[in-house]
Amino acid sequence: MAVNLSAPRAADLFPVPGVRIGVAEAGVRKANRKDLSVVLIDEGASVAGVFTQNRFCAAPVQLCRDHLDRVAASGGIRAMVINTGNANAGTGEDGLVRARRTCVALAQKLDIAPEQVLPFSTGVIMEPLPVERIEAGLPAAIADAKPDHWLRAAEGIMTTDTIAKAFSRRVTIGGVQVTVTGISKGAGMIRPNMATMLGFMATDATVDAGVMKQLALELAEGSFNRATVDGDTSTNDSFVVIATNKAKHGAITSLDSENGKALKSAMLEVARLLAQAIVRDGEGATKFITVRVEGGKTAAECRLVAYAIAHSPLVKTAFFASDPNLGRILAAVGYAGIADLDQTRIELHLDDVHVATGGGRNPSYREEDGQRVMKQSEITVRVGLGRGKAEDTVWTCDFSHDYVSINADYRS
Amino acid sequence: MAVNLSAPRAADLFPVPGVRIGVAEAGVRKANRKDLSVVLIDEGASVAGVFTQNRFCAAPVQLCRDHLDRVAASGGIRAMVINTGNANAGTGEDGLVRARRTCVALAQKLDIAPEQVLPFSTGVIMEPLPVERIEAGLPAAIADAKPDHWLRAAEGIMTTDTIAKAFSRRVTIGGVQVTVTGISKGAGMIRPNMATMLGFMATDATVDAGVMKQLALELAEGSFNRATVDGDTSTNDSFVVIATNKAKHGAITSLDSENGKALKSAMLEVARLLAQAIVRDGEGATKFITVRVEGGKTAAECRLVAYAIAHSPLVKTAFFASDPNLGRILAAVGYAGIADLDQTRIELHLDDVHVATGGGRNPSYREEDGQRVMKQSEITVRVGLGRGKAEDTVWTCDFSHDYVSINADYRS
């Protein structure tokens, strides 16, 4: 059961002019599952992506990077192909060959170059991609392609997710209404480092190709890179942003312009909802926890502390148990890696409850107040470091029996 | 159930001349538990310790550091007082006052200076130490003190441990037989960083005070600093080494001398057994896993990779399930933090089974071979980085339902 997250409704997901989506059952790993999606993009779009920092990155990630590097020469990205059931990671040279074959197959059917296709895979690592099944499924996926199929795609990229993740916003840019729609999937192996497991966003806004990469980076940094479920950075993290350039406003050439800010703000809202949805639907999650660290010398050290708290199995199991065993949070602050941290300046709040002050228990703190907050399904942990003015935030979930069950049974 | 670890027998634990141990039930947190231990050390011993690198270190750790700094002026360490049930961490200035009171109380009863006492606490964080109960329990603990009470002490320092941890060895130094005996406790919040939760070792060997610190550091580095259960570095990690200097051989003034090497080898064997025992009895552990990383440029980068594997919840749950979902190990290698890692050079063995080669699945690898090894209670993961000649090893356990149960219920 995802935490305060309901299934998206097709009616709430606005089509993005210039993008069509089709989904099929290709039997990649199991039969009768929507496991193959194609995203077809009209000519003239600007596309950028950010990808996992895992050095063991999957074959499709390597191809995506390569194709995006050559995007200007190739005539632009025109399609994406996404399979679940197999991550095509840890598969060596053979994995690259198979990923290329899926691009070639889709390109032939669309009469474009293979370099105009971005491939994505998610699922089990170190098993050969059944490329024949993907090739065989492509015609059905292409035939299914429609502008209003965002919900189908959100469902088509799910693995251990229990709920599809998709959000839309509309915003006025230069007097013209534009749409932003995005989807994501997550659940486990989630500690995005520059991107998430899989996230796709599209807008019909007109964005200069020169600022697309920066836009994608800033969106990832403010959303997916603030989410963690289990601290495992995936081999396949990919986040792609598409601007179809269909809207008739002046092209956005700077994110600091008025139009740039308006678009980024709308896109960031969708990106944050998608990233938070991944945490809400984290494997076994029963609580959504915002870890906010303030008073640091730099945002980086605040993030270090926030991740130490968010990854501590002891903190996460205490949240699962609704047990205000809050010393575990202080312990995580202490081992986060700030060498000259002064423990006598640490403050800890749980929502409105002031738990610790000056590094020790707040004299007026009462266990029943901590207990009250711990029972909530949404909790904010606020740590003050007392060293400066920087701050940062990370979202995470608790650690439950179901996480162990899901991951002990994942392949069976 | 600890993994291949049986309870020590009193007859196998050799007394160390110059050390007496007494245990009592002080009711620190719960009644009818051996929760207070004293270690009484004859005059003239050399003592050194290593302590947690957690910046949020507990009050007793702060006092231990201070007392050991002043050991020469104070006349030497003569006693230790150890309580379970309360960690006296995250307790601010008041915690320091309470820790000092336990030292003063024991010192008065033994007619020594408070600075000659080392205090240790383990248990729940951020609750006030019930110092009156400890004071009230001291006479019984002192009255109980005997040289052959090592097993009682090993039991007296247990918290969520399911089994006591104690080992002895004898070794001949300069023609004289000397004894090494040690005890430890662990179970959860175990990722020692310079020491473990609590570990104490004593020998009657004669060791110059000038090399004691180095001896303690080298022992910790080769044992407790290679063990991890959940990656949480405790606020209270303490490891203390005592040489009572009773044995009539020439004093050891260098660890590189013949006698120094012989003593260190025997002490390291005991320290490793104690550290491995903590992992074997890790909360919820069903398997003991040795992670060996070879072919690194430095031992530090090998350790980085070994800890990434040892801390990955996905890897640990796969071991729990005996599921050879070994791509999760490759993913952890990839995100460990080696920026210029070349994935095409990675080798992976599971015991004798060659799982991955050149960064991809080994063509001759068969799932049933991986399955066979995964079912064992002791498994060695061996990763080759193909970058150099350095190597390092870390011991860990799997991640089970019981870990969640134990830590969700710990305070109740």
Sign of the alpha-carbon dihedral angle for B252, B258, B262, B264: positive
3-state secondary structure B187-245: CCCCCCCCCCCEEEEEECCCECHHHHHHHHHHHHHCCHHHECCCCCCCCCCEEEEEECC
Provide CB contacts within 8 A for B95, sequence distance 6+. A360, B58, B59, B88, B89, B128, B129
Token pair, residue B75, equals 């006349």
Per-residue pLDDT band for B162 (boundaries 50, 70, 90) equals confident
- B49 in the same domain as B126: yes
Higher pLDDT, B262 or A125: B262
Residues A44 and A156 in one domain: yes
Domain boundary among B280, B304, B336: B280
Whether the per-residue pLDDT at B187 is higher than 80: the answer is no
| A36 membership: H or E segment, kind and range | strand A36-41
Q: Is residue A295 part of a domain?
A: yes
Report the CATH number at residue B230. 3.60.70.12
Q: Among A257, A255, A173, which residue's Cα sits nearest to residue A221?
A: A255
Distance between CA atoms of residues B390 and A389, nearest Å: 41
Question: Are A295 and A394 contained in the same domain?
Answer: yes
Classify residue B9 as exposed, middle or buried by CB count within 10 Å of its CB (0-12, 13-18, 19+): exposed
Q: Which residues of B touch A338 (CB under 8 A)?
A: 55
The number of residues in chain B equals 412
pLDDT at B194: 43
Phi and psi at residue A116, to the nearest 5°? -90, 5
- pLDDT value at residue B410: 53
Distance set, CA B261 to CA B218, B252, B276 (Å) = 12, 10, 22
In total, chain A counts a number of residues equal to 412
> Is residue B181 marked as binding?
no
Beta carbons of A55 and B313 less than 8 Å apart: no
CA distance B156 to B123: 13
pLDDT reading at B110 higher than 90: yes
Residue B196 annotated in active site: yes
Q: Quote the percentage of chain B above a pLDDT of 70.
A: 95
Count: domains in chain B: 2
What pLDDT, on the 0 to 100 scale, is given for residue B409? 67
Helix axes B59-69, B92-110, angle to 10 degrees: 50
Regarding whether A385 and A260 lie in a shared domain, the answer is no
**B window 301-360, beta carbon within 8 A of A:** 311-314, 317-318, 320-321, 323, 325-328, 330-335, 338-339, 341-344, 346, 356, 358-360
Q: Name which of A55, A344, A404 is nearest B334 (Cβ-Cβ).
A: A55
Query: What residue ranges in B87-226 does DSSP mark as E strands?
Result: 117-124, 165-173, 176-185, 198-203
Q: Is residue B332 part of a domain?
A: yes
Q: Which of the 8 DSSP states describes residue B12?
A: G
Among B250, B280, B310, where does a domain finish? B280
Contacts of A124 in chain B (CB under 8 A): 325, 327
Specify if A218 maps to a domain.
Answer: yes
Q: CA–CA separation, B115 vs B98, rounded Å? A: 14
Residue pLDDT, tens place only, B310-336: 988 889 888 998 888 888 898 889 888
Instruction: Say whether A320 and B408 touch across the interface (CB within 8 A).
Output: yes
Q: Which of A185, A147, A151 is nearest to A282 (CA)?
A: A185
d(CA B97, CA B92): 9
Residues B209 and B88 reside in one and the same domain = yes
Question: Which chain B residues are closer than 8 Å to A236 by Cβ?
Answer: none
Compute the distance between CA of residue A30 and CA of residue A25 in angstroms, rounded to an integer.
9
Long-range pairs for A104-111 at CB < 8 Å and ≥24 separation?
A105/A134, A105/A135, A105/A138, A106/A38, A106/A79, A106/A81, A106/A138, A106/A142, A107/A79, A109/A138, A109/A139, A109/A142, A110/A40, A110/A78, A110/A79, A110/A142
The CA distance from B279 to B277, in Å, is 5
* Residues A86 and A214 grouped into a single domain: yes
Which of B407, B409, B410, B412 is most worth mutating to test chain A (most A CB atoms within 10 A of its CB)?
B407
Within 8 A of A57 by CB-CB distance, chain B residues are: 334, 343
One-letter amino acid identity for B200?
Answer: F
Interchain contact, A313 vs B233, CB within 8 Å: no
Domain annotation covers residue B2: no
At A210 the pLDDT is 87
In tens, the pLDDT along B52-105 reads 878 788 899 999 999 998 887 778 999 999 999 998 988 888 999 999 999 999
| Residue A46 domain flag | yes
pLDDT of residue B412: 41
The answer on whether A146 is annotated among ligand-binding residues is: no
Cβ <8 Å between B331 and A54: yes
Q: Are B204 and B244 in contact (CB under 8 A)?
A: yes
Domain that holds residue B251: 10-280
Say whether both B152 and B192 belong to one domain: yes
ipTM: 0.73
In order, the DSSP letters of A124-192 are: ESSS---HHHHHHHHHHHHHT-BTT-HHHHHHHT-SS-SS-EEEEEEEEETTEEEEEEEEEE-SSS---
Tokens 């081999």 belong to which residue? Answer: A235
Residue type, A99: A
Sheet with strand B288-296: strands edge to edge: B360-361, B353-357, B347-350, B378-384, B288-296, B390-397
Query: Which H or E element spans position A391?
Result: strand A390-397
CATH number at residue B323: 3.10.20.340
**Which of left, alpha, beta for B384 (phi over 0: left; psi -120 to 50: alpha)?**
beta
- Rg over alpha carbons for chain A, rounded to the nearest Å, is 22
Return all residues near A221 (Cβ < 8 A) that are at least 6 apart: none
Assess whether A27 and A81 both reside in one domain: yes
8-state DSSP, A245 = -
Under a CB-based contact definition with an 8 Å cutoff, are residues B120 and B72 in contact? no
* Residue B36 contacts residue B23 (beta carbons within 8 Å): yes
CA–CA gap between residue A185 and residue A270 (Å, rounded): 14
In contact, A269 and A169? CB cutoff 8 Å: yes
One domain for residues B93 and B166 = yes
* Residue B380 β-bridge partners: B290
Q: How far apart are CA B340 and CA A265, in angstroms?
A: 35
Q: What is the pLDDT, as a whole number, of residue A197?
A: 67
Residue type, position B147, single letter: P
Residue A237 CA to residue A50 CA, distance in Å, equals: 8
Which residues of A fall within a CB distance of 8 Å from B386? none
CA distance B320 to B312: 12
| More confident call, B315 vs B229 | B315
Domain check: are B200 and B273 in the same one?
yes
Hey, is B83 helix, strand or coil? Answer: strand
Residue (of B184, B119, B109) closest to B141 by Cα position: B109
Residues A185 and A212 in one domain: yes
pLDDT tens for chain A, 412 residues: list them: 688 788 899 989 999 999 999 999 999 998 889 999 999 999 999 999 888 878 788 899 999 999 998 887 778 999 999 999 998 988 888 999 999 999 999 999 999 999 999 999 988 888 899 999 999 999 999 999 999 999 999 999 887 788 898 999 899 998 999 999 989 887 666 665 544 568 888 898 989 888 888 898 888 888 888 777 776 777 777 888 889 899 999 999 999 999 999 999 999 888 888 888 888 888 888 999 999 999 999 999 999 999 999 988 889 888 998 888 888 899 889 888 898 999 889 999 999 999 999 988 899 999 899 999 999 999 999 999 999 999 999 999 998 888 788 777 655 4
State which of B232, B247, B280 marks the end of a domain: B280
* Calpha distance B350→B381 (Å, rounded): 5
Residue A2 belongs to some domain of the structure: no
C-alpha distances in Å from residue B11, one per residue of B14, B166, B168, B359, B404? 7, 11, 10, 51, 36
| CA dihedral (B76, B79, B84, B86) positive or negative | negative
Q: Do the domain assignments include residue A392?
A: yes
- Per the CB < 8 Å rule, is A56 touching B126? no
Per-residue pLDDT, B150: 94
- Quickly list DSSP for B342-390: -GGG-EEEETTEEEEETTEE-TT--HHHHHHHHTSSEEEEEEE-SS-SE
Q: Which of A89, A335, A405 sits opposite B327 (nearest CB)?
A: A89
pLDDT at A412: 41
Pairing of strands B347-350, B353-357: antiparallel
Task: Identify which of A91, A313, A344 has the shortest CB distance to residue B360.
Answer: A91
- Is the residue at B5 inside a domain? no
| Cβ A146 vs Cβ A160: under 8 Å | no
**Same domain? B46 vs B168:** yes
For residue B191, pLDDT beyond 70 = no
Per the prediction, chain B carries an average pLDDT of 88
| Residue for token pair 């390092």 | B392
